[in-house]
Amino acid sequence: MYSEELIDVENGIQSKKIFWEEGIYHHELETVFYRCWLFLTHESLVPEAGDFIVAKMVDDEVIVSRQKDGSIQGFYNYCTHRGNQLCPYEAGNARGFQCNYHGWAFGLDGSLQSVPFKEQAYRKHFDQSKWGLKKVAKIESYNGFIFACADGDAPSLREYLGEMAWYLDAWTNVPGGIEFLGPPARSIMRANWKAPAENFVGDAYHLGWTHASALSVIGGPVGGLVGNDEPPPEGIGLQVTTKHGHGFGCLWDLGPTLMSDTVPEIWQWKQDHTPEIEERLDAWRARTYSGQWNCTLFPNCSFLYGTNAFKLWNPIGPNEIEVFTWAFAEKRMPEDMKKRIHSSVHRTFGPAGTFESDDGDNLEYCTQVNRGQVTRTGVMNAQMGLGEERDDPNLPGLVGDYISEISHRGMYRFYAELLDGATWDDINISGDLWKESLMKATRQDQESV
């Protein structure tokens, strides 16, 4: 099996080569990025007919546009004549798109609408109806978050999100929905895409150490984590992993900590709106509404709910990514509150944000050290909390302690499955079988008692 030398699921160990080697990266492009649902944008950024943004699916550009009937479509951003890039803009509103090279013009619906002096130039050997834009195989949105998938045989987005959708509903399905606050900040990081993906999926361990100085400036309840002086108290949160590698950690009650000096009324907002989440969903998810989440939706989309930063780690090679950072808020929040949330997000997790700079150094070095031929023959350890995973009857997925690496292991379990499977039929194992390999250490501990 391809993954055998790279990922040891049961023991929580990964080869360092996965952060560096060109061959593995190219295998990932086919087995991970071609096959999985990738985040494109949010519906709030394309609210009106004709609104469009140009999104990235690794190296493919996709024009995501709101159609006249209100639906969303995705077309690859190239002209079907001689293949020029069609739309050179990041976003806008248009009735259609006209190519800069010879002037072919396409409608919002992707159809080829006009070809300069078609009759004289082509005479009869040209069927205009066949030369519309190429559609992305699948495009869907979940509570306004738009994803696309290049593999027409992939499961639906809802199925792909799987158990994670149950958790996401806590804050993505609030009355009025979520709004993305303007275009993303874009920056380059010299890191493999999995370095930030695993950091966001479950690395609560680094908070007090990597971010010690930023946290000590912020103070308040998170000040206690600074410098890892003492282990964090039991039960401060939890971590979850799911079948398709998505995972998150939730730190109870401290959601808005990182923005509370710029948006002090956010605490009250959370308190005021928690009862309605409980009424709509349940008490458990209502509690997560005021928590601080770190999350990765596998493979390369991450967010911090509570801090309200939304991230895309778009690979541009085995050891480089383009980082997209959006700020988001509840649509029903007062405009002034949204404005301050926006600046708080970029102050902390924008390209020049305090926390982003702390993380950036570590993520780049975790990648770049593998330039060393011997260094990259080493392995990485994600054994924290091994044997402590719980299959909680009330919570989807597998649950572990807030400071653990169960989500890393869950992410790499699915990653390995993708690397080895030829199609979705090979990898879409049914039921809860996926939990068994992750819980092997737990089972062994139980048997030895």
Task: Tell me the C-alpha distance between 371 and 77, whole Å.
Answer: 34
Point out which span in 75-83, 294-302, 321-329, 372-380 binds ligand FES (CB under 6 A).
75-83
Q: What minimum distance in Å lies between the beta carbon of 120 and ligand FES?
A: 16
Task: Tell me the C-alpha distance between 306 and 204, whole Å.
Answer: 15
Nearer to ligand FES, 87 or 99 (CB): 99
Tell me the residue length of the chain. 449
- Give the residue among 212, 248, 249, 181 at the shortest CA–CA distance from 402: 249
Task: Tell me the C-alpha distance between 188 and 191, whole Å.
Answer: 9
Q: Which runs of consecutive H residues, i.e. helices, occur in 324-379?
A: 335-349, 354-368
Partner from ligand FES, Fe ion, none contacting 101, C-beta within 5 to 8 A by type: ligand FES
Task: Tell me the C-alpha distance between 165 and 148, whole Å.
Answer: 16
Partner from ligand FES, Fe ion, none contacting 442, C-beta within 5 to 8 A by type: none
Task: Tell me the C-alpha distance between 86 and 106, whole Å.
Answer: 9
* Cβ partners under 8 Å of residue 241, min gap 6: 201, 202, 247, 397, 398, 400, 406, 407, 409, 410, 411, 438
Contact predicate 289/186, CB 8 Å: no
Quick check: is 273 catalytic? no
Amino acid at 292: Q
Partner from ligand FES, Fe ion, none contacting 122, C-beta within 5 to 8 A by type: none
Nearer to ligand FES, 78 or 305 (CB): 78
Task: Tell me the C-alpha distance between 289 and 271, whole Å.
Answer: 9
Quick check: is 211 catalytic? yes
Partner from Fe ion, ligand FES, none contacting 150, C-beta within 5 to 8 A by type: none
Q: What is the contact mask toward ligand FES in residues 81 to 120, using x (rule: CB under 6 A)?
A: xx-x--------------x-xxxx----------------
Amino acid at 22: E
State residue 96 phi and psi, 5-degree precision. Answer: 180, -170
Nearer to Fe ion, 43 or 359 (CB): 359
Q: What is the contact mask toward Fe ion in residues 356 to 385, using x (rule: CB under 5 A)?
A: ---x--------------------------
Task: Tell me the C-alpha distance between 181 and 184, whole Å.
Answer: 9
Nearer to ligand FES, 106 or 303 (CB): 106
Partner from Fe ion, ligand FES, none contacting 359, C-beta within 5 to 8 A by type: Fe ion
Quick check: is 102 catalytic? yes
Point out which span in 76-84, 233-241, 390-398, 416-424 binds ligand FES (CB under 6 A).
76-84
Nearer to Fe ion, 76 or 205 (CB): 205
Count the site residues for ligand FES by CB under 6 A: 9
Binding site for Fe ion (CB under 5 A): 359
Binding site for ligand FES (CB under 6 A): 79, 81-82, 84, 99, 101-104
Q: What amino acid positions are annotated as catalytic residues?
A: 102, 203, 206, 211, 359
